[in-house]
Structure 1
């Protein structure tokens, strides 16, 4: 009997059964759909209602103020808001994918509302053209809208997450289109939205895109289309023709799938796909369901209805009820069809016999033994498609009963279905009233469902569902915490903190910083500071502390973390906000922050660093900075040209010298800076007098050498005297300088002034390096050491003289070296061999 009563509710459309159970009686009051504009969200979503200002209606007990009212699917009020928007009448409204209500008004302004009837800022404009021409009609899809103006121009917003209006191609029509439909971007070849227009008195459909217009259906259509709707997957187009036929074609209008006469030539008020198998057409008292063949199914209504397409059927909203028209699933048909002898039906029947302790139960099981896994699966599948909890339970009991005799059935299949049904039943329940089917649930996904629950402030159910499904609870707890802060303005900070922490600690790794940021945004800075103190991750904690003005705490946390990037973040933030002395005092107490500041400022901010060192009494560090700055002048291209830059540079060095002089530990640096300044001043004067920029930044030795080379012996002597250059050093410098300019007369004169303190070897070296052998001969005899004389003679190629000097030295090793020097000269080699023999050195060859 149960099977008969279930199947008795079904309607047969050709060879497929359809059912239309009531999901909920509507609990709203004073809502007449005929007097209102209505927008219902798919996936069992909310319903938005507002009085239709294009109709003259009797107000009854209502206020004259128009209100936007939001209800759930059972007519339970969620929120409302007074409609106070200028810009002309409301053209259309729809829920987008994230359950934001999008309302388009006549001047092209788009207002958006959340689930709590709060206006979402900012408002969006469709552009100047829509404002000037007025919007005449609009069509929505998942996350976009297309508007047509009174001048028949089209504009679209492809994605409300980036709400930029895009003009479409001009359709070049004089009259408004009779109907409009949209193929979503995800189903088009171009990836852009395609708008289908049914044109008056023209048997074609215009397809309008950004870059052009196509005419489709020429030769296929016999007249203009009155209504049209694209299937969910974008492949098919169902339309109502001018002569009262239902026409189903491919969406590119290249082929007709169904063409059937309807019972009225008046265009229907609404047309919708019911799944992918049937099309619904609604006139003011009749709903007609038509399939590819067979007689259509009629449903009569004495009240207005709204068709809400779903992926697996259509929800039907009326003033008094919410129904769901869907194709009966195959598993349900196999069990409950009248007279069914399928394995699933016999298994379901066997449970009934088992409950009544009838032996017929065993008989049924024996009959279906080979097909028992399929029968169990059918019972499990059918349970998922039921809204009635008792019927779900009976079907699952039948599956469980069959599974006991079935060894190769997946054991977790029933458990998985129980889990899904528990979730679905929870959201079907009163107060929640989201009538999701199992197919809708799978398409929507559990994470999106939980997101919708928390946006509706159903946090407890969302939390339990997350826990039950093994999902991350952080999203739910975070949203709850933020909502609690917003709604608890009268609760003291300390009390609210305890309430929040009690829940936040349930989830490891939760972002206290994000909750604190929300508290700060709501003007509760003290609560934000207390919350952020519980954030374990410095990278999240420190930026928030800065944003709420807790700079000192932020610096402490950053330095404790040891994260250099974080410390620099805080340093730069405080640096910009505070006076220099206050900033220096802040960082002085924290060695890491201080050292990082010094490192940065040493490279980029010398002035600040000098101020810092002065504020802390580190005079020697200021001095080193000044000295370093003096060398920066060298990099200035002007420094090599003229001397204006040398004056400030010398003053910097003198200032550094005076700072060094104030500390006992830096006597050497003080003296070095003093002499450096003195040398630069002399070099600067020399460049002025010689008009050659070759002195500055050379050493004392180079300065003397350059003076001698230029013939300025008085200046060279002055430098020698000023810097107390030793006689030996002076002689070395002057000898080589005179050799450089090949002033041999002066060199000889210099050698005779007095006995050179460096001896005559430098004179010899200078002459040999200048390749002046004749000059070298003048000084070689004056060398006191016979070895030096022998080697010098050898270097200029005088064999005999070298041999004589070597023989005086009586050094066999020296003779051997000299022999190698003249290895190419046989006569010379012989001389050195003879000398070695004479000295009776062994080993001569």
Structure 2
């Protein structure tokens, strides 16, 4: 009889068997589904329940205030709140892919709740027309919504993360549709949502933004009462007025299945192929919710696989592992009745995320451990939840609780990782990552427990996570110390820039002065980009010579300005900057040479500036003293040249050299001859002769040689008489010079 009872639960629909097993006896009380609006989340998610205000009901012992209550799939209360939205009747509600409850009211306002019935801050409006015309029906999908107004106008939000309501094309119908379904944007040719409206006797309208079209005229034989689109958007299941279930292509061109819903027939198909039978037992165990039946099917599969030579032996082990996880989350205390298909679609990592979101941390940790996954997320979420829920516990006590638990879990995870690696079953190091105290500390700071955050972050071993968090909680001194200890210059710069913006200059200077790495990095950066701030730093630390060098550099940079020419007024500030540098050098005895150099530099610049103003030629500034004298002589300004000589105490020898070659450059031979006769030249007559020879003036060279009382022998040599052998070895020009002056 037991076997007959089991078989009787199954019903044949087309070529598949289905049944509706009882998974839980719901633990809720005073919940009658026919009196409430209900929204069930997919993948074994929570159930939202609220009293249906469109029905007249007897309250009994209940409060007159409507409450939105959220239960687990086994009926345990997760959260509740009083419904107090004034926007009119609740039209519909559903769960999004990220388990957010979305509620649409009559005026087109969308409210969102967490699984703990906490209202999210921002509401969404479907637009002014929905507000004025009232919403009468809606359809939800993964992360979107379509609604229809009293005037049969359709509005859509394709993604609640980017809630921009869009009006679809006018379907041009007078009566409300009998039913409505949605094909999601990713499954339509246009890439936009497509709404199917069941209207009339045998017609479905497909409505998009750009227009609509009629479908099903050739295949439908009557009005459709209900419609549902498959998850992949390819198929449409519909229920007709005469009790037929139709499965069609989503474009309603072809009916694939037609089934009368009044049809019970029990069949048992036994396949002769043993490997297929074993696979069927394993697959059946995976789809089974009853633990005893799971065991029976898996034992049968285990017995059968012994006689299958080519059967993959790890299938049963994998199924056992999967069923252990599924049975754990299906337990009434957890209340997540996932099927195996839902578990595979959801993935283990998402399941663990949902467990910790429901505060089932211990189970999440055990599942993570069992599946060889990283437990850090579970531990961190538990620690953050503990901080949020322990407002009455002191920071020191809570720190001890957290450290005891987290350190124990960390040690456990580390040992497990070594065992896994030693056995070579999983070469990945992903599960061996250290626990991040920085994330827990950030949560503590967010909840107003800054002291606890500072104590927690001290235990964070990774400087890259530790330092930014110390800055965010105002621990700049500690952050700078930790960054310097790490040796990471990027982290040090991060702290420097943060403190630079937050602290007063003198306070900032005091922090970095005693820390060599921070000080040096600041100086390197400031030399390139922040001269003024760097000067303030050097002044505050008494390094006057460094300020002077910066000023001197600034004067040269100012000289590169293209406007600093032809008597530009920019030379005035340059001179003042150099004089300021001179005064700073004078403050330090070790820099007397630099002070003297700065003084002469300023004096020379002032004279060169005056010369450019008087001559209207931008050729003096930033040239040397010798070049300045030479240029003055070339321009015929002998008085200015003599002034430069006098001011800078140019020696007579240097003066003679400069003037001789300057006069030769402008070929002023009379002046050169006169200059040679003023007195006996301190450099001799050789430079005079060389200047003439270089200018290719032999006659002037002869005059210079005569003025130097050259011997008659040398003159005869100049006239082409016998040449000494050693002179014949020299180049012609040098040979002439030697003859004239030797």
TM-score when scaled to structure 1? 0.79
Contact kept? 1:545, 1:551, Cα under 8 Å: yes
Map 1:215-234 onto structure 2 (within 5 A): 215-221=214-220, 225-234=224-233
2:585 pairs, out of 651, 660, 671, with 660
Deviation at 1:85, TM superposition (A): 1.9
In structure 2, the residue matched to 1:712 is 637
2:294 pairs, out of 364, 386, 392, with 392
Deviation at 1:107, TM superposition (A): 2.8
Q: 1:395 to 1:557 in 2, by over 3 A?
A: same
Contact kept? 2:38, 2:48, Cα under 8 Å: yes
CA distance in 1, matches of 2:367, 2:45: 18
In structure 2, the residue matched to 1:701 is 626
Deviation at 1:470, TM superposition (A): 0.8
Map 1:585-624 onto structure 2 (within 5 A): 585-624=510-549
SS at match of 1:447: helix
Deviation at 1:445, TM superposition (A): 1.5
SS at match of 1:424: helix
Map 1:5-20 onto structure 2 (within 5 A): 5-13=5-13, 15-20=15-20
Deviation at 1:159, TM superposition (A): 2.2
SS at match of 1:689: helix
Contact kept? 2:246, 2:259, Cα under 8 Å: no
Using the TM superposition, name which of 586-595 and 636-645 deviates more. Answer: 636-645
Deviation at 1:373, TM superposition (A): 4.1
1:480 pairs, out of 358, 368, 382, with 382
Q: 1:802 to 1:538 in 2, by over 3 A?
A: farther
CA distance in 2, matches of 1:341, 1:197: 43
RMSD: 2.9
Contact kept? 1:13, 1:296, Cα under 8 Å: no
Deviation per CA, 1:494-530: give whole Å up to 9, x if none: 2211222233332442221111111100001011111
2:340 pairs, out of 427, 432, 438, with 438
CA distance in 2, matches of 1:783, 1:169: 112
In structure 2, the residue matched to 1:194 is 194
Task: List gaps (5 residues or longer) in structure 2.
Answer: 411-432, 736-742
Q: 1:380 to 1:240 in 2, by over 3 A?
A: closer
In structure 2, the residue matched to 1:178 is 178
Map 1:85-164 onto structure 2 (within 5 A): 85-164=85-164
In structure 2, the residue matched to 1:251 is 250
SS at match of 1:119: coil
In structure 1, the residue matched to 2:262 is 296
Deviation at 1:240, TM superposition (A): 4.2
Deviation per CA, 1:107-159: give whole Å up to 9, x if none: 33222111111122332333444444433322111122223334444333322
User: Is 1:491 the equivalent of 2:393?
Assistant: yes
Contact kept? 1:13, 1:294, Cα under 8 Å: no
CA distance in 1, matches of 2:102, 2:87: 15
Deviation at 1:24, TM superposition (A): 1.6
Deviation per CA, 1:287-330: give whole Å up to 9, x if none: xxxxx3566347xxxxxxxxxxxxxxxxxxxxxxxxxxxx99xx
Q: 1:394 to 1:704 in 2, by over 3 A?
A: same
Deviation per CA, 1:577-606: give whole Å up to 9, x if none: 111111110111211111111112112222
SS at match of 2:102: strand
Contact kept? 2:693, 2:733, Cα under 8 Å: no
CA distance in 1, matches of 2:213, 2:312: 53
User: Is 1:205 the equivalent of 2:204?
Assistant: yes
In structure 2, the residue matched to 1:357 is none
Contact kept? 1:178, 1:226, Cα under 8 Å: yes
Contact kept? 2:243, 2:261, Cα under 8 Å: no
SS at match of 1:254: coil
In structure 2, the residue matched to 1:419 is 321
1:728 pairs, out of 653, 658, 679, with 653
SS at match of 2:641: helix
Task: List gaps (5 residues or longer) in structure 1.
Answer: 259-291, 299-326, 344-370, 794-799, 823-845
Using the TM superposition, name which of 237-246 and 504-513 deviates more. Answer: 237-246
In structure 2, the residue matched to 1:264 is none
SS at match of 2:23: strand
Q: How many residues are treated as equivalent by the alignment?
A: 710
In structure 2, the residue matched to 1:24 is 24
Q: 1:204 to 1:729 in 2, by over 3 A?
A: farther
Q: 1:295 to 1:107 in 2, by over 3 A?
A: closer
CA distance in 2, matches of 1:732, 1:765: 11
Deviation per CA, 1:723-763: give whole Å up to 9, x if none: 01112221222222223323222122112222333333433
CA distance in 2, matches of 1:38, 1:341: 40
CA distance in 1, matches of 2:120, 2:664: 90
User: Is 1:529 the equivalent of 2:495?
Assistant: no
Deviation per CA, 1:73-132: give whole Å up to 9, x if none: 222222111112232222211111111111122233222111111122332333444444
In structure 1, the residue matched to 2:416 is none
CA distance in 1, matches of 2:622, 2:663: 22
SS at match of 1:25: coil
Q: 1:61 to 1:527 in 2, by over 3 A?
A: same
User: Is 1:815 the equivalent of 2:701?
Assistant: no
Q: 1:565 to 1:818 in 2, by over 3 A?
A: closer
CA distance in 1, matches of 2:169, 2:688: 96
User: Is 1:458 the equivalent of 2:333?
Assistant: no
In structure 2, the residue matched to 1:311 is none
CA distance in 2, matches of 1:66, 1:638: 79
Deviation per CA, 1:198-249: give whole Å up to 9, x if none: 34x4854333334444443455556664432212221122334567755433
User: Is 1:738 the equivalent of 2:663?
Assistant: yes
CA distance in 2, matches of 1:100, 1:158: 15
In structure 2, the residue matched to 1:54 is 54
Contact kept? 2:113, 2:119, Cα under 8 Å: yes
Deviation per CA, 1:418-450: give whole Å up to 9, x if none: 111111111121211221222222222111111
In structure 1, the residue matched to 2:420 is none
CA distance in 1, matches of 2:270, 2:472: 72
Contact kept? 1:654, 1:677, Cα under 8 Å: yes
Deviation at 1:690, TM superposition (A): 2.5
Deviation at 1:621, TM superposition (A): 0.4
In structure 2, the residue matched to 1:271 is none
Contact kept? 2:228, 2:236, Cα under 8 Å: yes
Q: Which gives a bigger RCO, structure 1 or 2 (Cα 8 Å, sep 6+)?
A: 1
CA distance in 2, matches of 1:629, 1:819: 50
Q: 1:781 to 1:137 in 2, by over 3 A?
A: farther
Contact kept? 2:183, 2:233, Cα under 8 Å: yes
CA distance in 2, matches of 1:136, 1:145: 13
Q: 1:23 to 1:751 in 2, by over 3 A?
A: same
Q: 1:821 to 1:512 in 2, by over 3 A?
A: same
Contact kept? 1:14, 1:294, Cα under 8 Å: no
Deviation at 1:817, TM superposition (A): 4.8
In structure 1, the residue matched to 2:311 is 409
SS at match of 1:708: helix
Q: 1:18 to 1:88 in 2, by over 3 A?
A: same
Q: 1:605 to 1:180 in 2, by over 3 A?
A: same
Deviation at 1:67, TM superposition (A): 0.6
CA distance in 2, matches of 1:73, 1:483: 23
In structure 1, the residue matched to 2:38 is 38
Contact kept? 1:630, 1:649, Cα under 8 Å: yes
Deviation at 1:405, TM superposition (A): 4.9
User: Is 1:750 the equivalent of 2:675?
Assistant: yes
Larger Rg: 1
Deviation at 1:394, TM superposition (A): 2.2
CA distance in 1, matches of 2:584, 2:572: 19
